[in-house]
Amino acid sequence: AQSVTQLDSQVPVFEEAPVELRCNYSSSVSVYLFWYVQYPNQGLQLLLKYLSGSTLVKGINGFEAEFNKSQTSFHLRKPSVHISDTAEYFCAVSLSLTQGGSEKLVFGKGTKLTVNP
């Protein structure tokens, strides 16, 4: 079974500082990897995804993530954060469709990013 660990439940940073939100996953087969953002009282918005190909994935709002198969990690980074990036971020995995997987996502517990002025 797949599992996802987000190592930090809360990350406070100052505006314009860089940030890295960590995500490790466990799976014995190929997976798809995702990062979602959730603003208060909202649903989940897809930031970026890794399906195959280049291990460096660029997403919306200046975020990027790097897939590291040997370390089973998919950390999210942004070089300079804004106040508006304050939100909760979720890492998720699903089985690659080539492994016969369906569209079930397994989520980490989330990381609350707070950007302070």
C-alpha to C-alpha distance for 109 and 17, rounded to whole angstroms:
24
Of the two residues 21 and 92, which places its CB atom closer to another protein in the complex?
92
Of the two residues 48 and 115, which places its CB atom closer to another protein in the complex?
48
Of 5, 15, 22, 51, the one binding another protein by CB under 8 A: 51
Count of residues binding another protein (CB under 8 A)?
A: 24
Exposure string for 66-83, b = 16+ CB within 10 A, e = fewer: ebeeeebbbbbebeebee
Decide: residue 52, CB within 10 A, 0-12 exposed, 13-18 middle, 19+ buried.
exposed
Of 1, 28, 40, 41, the one binding another protein by CB under 8 A: 41
**Which one of the spans 13-21, 31-39, 53-61, 66-74 is the region binding another protein (CB under 8 A)?**
31-39
Nearest to 94 by CA among 14, 16, 13, 27: 27
Of the two residues 50 and 81, which places its CB atom closer to another protein in the complex?
50
Nearest to 90 by CA among 2, 13, 6: 6
Q: According to CB under 8 A, which residues from 60 to 99 bind another protein?
A: 90, 92, 94, 97
Output the smallest distance, CB 25 to another protein, in A: 15
Q: What is the DSSP letter of 72?
A: T
Instruction: Give the interface with another protein as residue ranges (CB under 8 A).
Output: 32, 34, 36, 41-46, 49, 51, 90, 92, 94, 97, 102-110
